[in-house]
Amino acid sequence: MGMTRRTLLRSIGVAGGAGVMFESMRALGLAPAPQALAAPDFQEPREGDLPAHARGSTVVVLGAGIAGLTAAYELGKAGYRCVVLEAKDRIGGRNWTVRAGTTDTDLDGNTQTAQFTDDADTYLNAGPGRIPQSHITVDYCNELGVRLEPLLSSNAAALLHSDGADPQMHRTVKADHHGYVAELLSKAVDAGALDGELTADDKEALLTFLSGFGDIGGSDTGFVYEGSSRRGYAVQPGAADQEGVVLGPTPSLSETLSSGLGRYLQLDLGHDQAMTMLQPVGGMDAIVDALVDAVRGNGAEIITGAPVTELRNTDDGVEITYRGADGDTVLRGDFCIATLPPHLMAELPTNLDPAVADALRTPEIWAAGKLGLEYDRRWWELDEGIYGGITYTDLDLLSMWYPSHGFGREHGVLVGYYNEGPMAEAYGALSPAERTRRALAEGARIHGAQYRRGLRDSFSVAWDRTPHVEGGWAMWSSRGPEYELLNQAAGNVYFAGDWLSYQTAWQAGAMDSARYVVAALHERVATG
């Protein structure tokens, strides 16, 4: 029936969880009808979905990030009138791609203007940078015609680094850890130490598995791990008599364990971090551009540079005041969907129950930062053979991303750091020039002196110092009554954002939350 496995699985989840909500999502094309996702219908909103009494219902959406745009997009498809108010001059929220000419001023008054090479490959995704293939973000890209390409989050040639030691290739660290785990477990099995857990067949099967898992010797040699070509080569194999020289010496078991690098090996096993990951061709903001076109195509208005200064529930709707270039304007609508960051929303003057503001202050605001470094040559590819992937370090840089696109081009932008929490706060407290200086010094401890050479330009973002955002993301230590309260309408006001989902800090969380709220709002209109 053209229903993809993913759509089917998702619809089962929706149906199991939400009873009547499911019907309303179906009516809106938000749930199982797969054609709704497969076939976009921007020009002709399906006004038939709206009961006569609700035609022309107006929804004021606060915030033109992914949650606000998705809400406006889905509402527009169903025939609602939407006005989206965005405090910044820029649309997209944290979905922000920095390229030649991008300019921004932070809360400390630092202004940066990117002097990157002006071409389609040269950009920094300052916010979201990777999309898991399981996320609804992918469905929206397909529906909106946003082209995707692989994002190489895992790369055997990328580095793992612990301060005070030389960095090692991901493949080397993995080979040694797998090797020794296989050796130890094989010895234990062979000595009968696990006989209580394993049948004779299990033992044989496990030994066979471990031999491949660790690339270790057989029973005749005592299952010893001695290193293997999986570690990489000091001299690559080649023609005629060039056998190659495997990278050595292989560290001992103790050295391997004490390196601390094993902790990075599970990162790409995470459900949301497993290969294949994806990115839009030309920059993450392709998603924003496509949503904006679709939202405007459906007749909605997006007003930028319009911070909201007051929000009131009235008997039959909402009253919203925003500050524009020509002073204050009061907008009236039937409903409001508020997608501001929770801690900023909490400070907005409203006539909502004070418990709402308290709930909005509950999640912890977590810092995140990124630095883009454009070099005049792609030395990480040309000299080190690293094509995409991520290097991890226990320095404050935390992670360094090599571009997954533009191989073979002259220039390229490296993500010099993508960090979070206290590390991001430490970098965020510096001026942009100081951030670059510090990142170059730290990066040189991993990549050597060439890290400082040939830098053309840099641009950094500290999300906690960014006006109208003021944080990387909002995290719940537990999703208790406050979370539940905010997932319900407060009068005629609904809240949406990745922080109201189980996909914190993902665009999919913002999209799913927006869809949930649109369905709830529509349910109310349809039955009201």
For residues 338 and 341, what is the distance between their CA atoms, to the nearest angstrom? 9
Q: How many residues bind ligand PHE (CB under 6 A)?
A: 4
> Least separation, in Å, of the C-beta of 129 and ligand PHE?
7
For residues 77 and 45, what is the distance between their CA atoms, to the nearest angstrom? 4
> Least separation, in Å, of the C-beta of 286 and ligand PHE?
18
Output phi, psi for 298, to 5 deg: -90, 10
| Cβ neighbours around 170 below 10 Å, total | 26
CB 121 within 8 A of CB 405: yes
Site string for ligand PHE, 221-260 (x = CB under 6 A): ----------------------------------------
Tokens of 516: 């949930």
Give the CA angle between residues 373, 379, 385 to the nearest 5°.
120
For residues 341 and 360, what is the distance between their CA atoms, to the nearest angstrom? 9
Q: List all residues 6 or more positions away from 224 whose beta carbon is below 8 Å from its beta carbon.
A: 183, 216, 217
Q: Which of 505, 508, 514, 517 binds ligand PHE (CB under 6 A)?
A: 505
For residues 232 and 174, what is the distance between their CA atoms, to the nearest angstrom? 11
- Rank residues 285 and 381 by Cβ distance to ligand PHE and give the closer one: 285
> Least separation, in Å, of the C-beta of 505 and ligand PHE?
4
Contact between 451 and ligand PHE by CB under 6 A: the answer reads: no
Contact between 161 and ligand PHE by CB under 6 A: the answer reads: no
- Rank residues 251 and 472 by Cβ distance to ligand PHE and give the closer one: 472
- Rank residues 87 and 505 by Cβ distance to ligand PHE and give the closer one: 505
For residues 171 and 155, what is the distance between their CA atoms, to the nearest angstrom? 8
Contact between 506 and ligand PHE by CB under 6 A: the answer reads: yes
> Least separation, in Å, of the C-beta of 9 and ligand PHE?
21
CB 235 within 8 A of CB 245: yes
- Rank residues 348 and 390 by Cβ distance to ligand PHE and give the closer one: 390
> Least separation, in Å, of the C-beta of 420 and ligand PHE?
7
Give the CA angle between residues 179, 180, 181 to the nearest 5°.
95
| Cβ neighbours around 484 below 10 Å, total | 10
> Least separation, in Å, of the C-beta of 130 and ligand PHE?
5
> Least separation, in Å, of the C-beta of 308 and ligand PHE?
27
- Rank residues 223 and 366 by Cβ distance to ligand PHE and give the closer one: 366
Which residue reads 């309260």 in tokens?
A: 485
What angle do the packed helices 507-527 and 66-78 form, to 10 degrees?
Answer: 30
For residues 393 and 140, what is the distance between their CA atoms, to the nearest angstrom? 34
Output phi, psi for 251, to 5 deg: -70, 160
Which residue sits closest to ligand PHE, CB atoms considered?
505
- Rank residues 186 and 279 by Cβ distance to ligand PHE and give the closer one: 279
Site string for ligand PHE, 268-307 (x = CB under 6 A): ----x-----------------------------------
For residues 72 and 487, what is the distance between their CA atoms, to the nearest angstrom? 18
Q: Which of 88, 94, 99, 130 binds ligand PHE (CB under 6 A)?
A: 130
- Rank residues 116 and 506 by Cβ distance to ligand PHE and give the closer one: 506
> Least separation, in Å, of the C-beta of 60 and ligand PHE?
28
Judged by the rule CB under 6 A, the positions of this chain that interact with ligand PHE are: 130, 272, 505-506
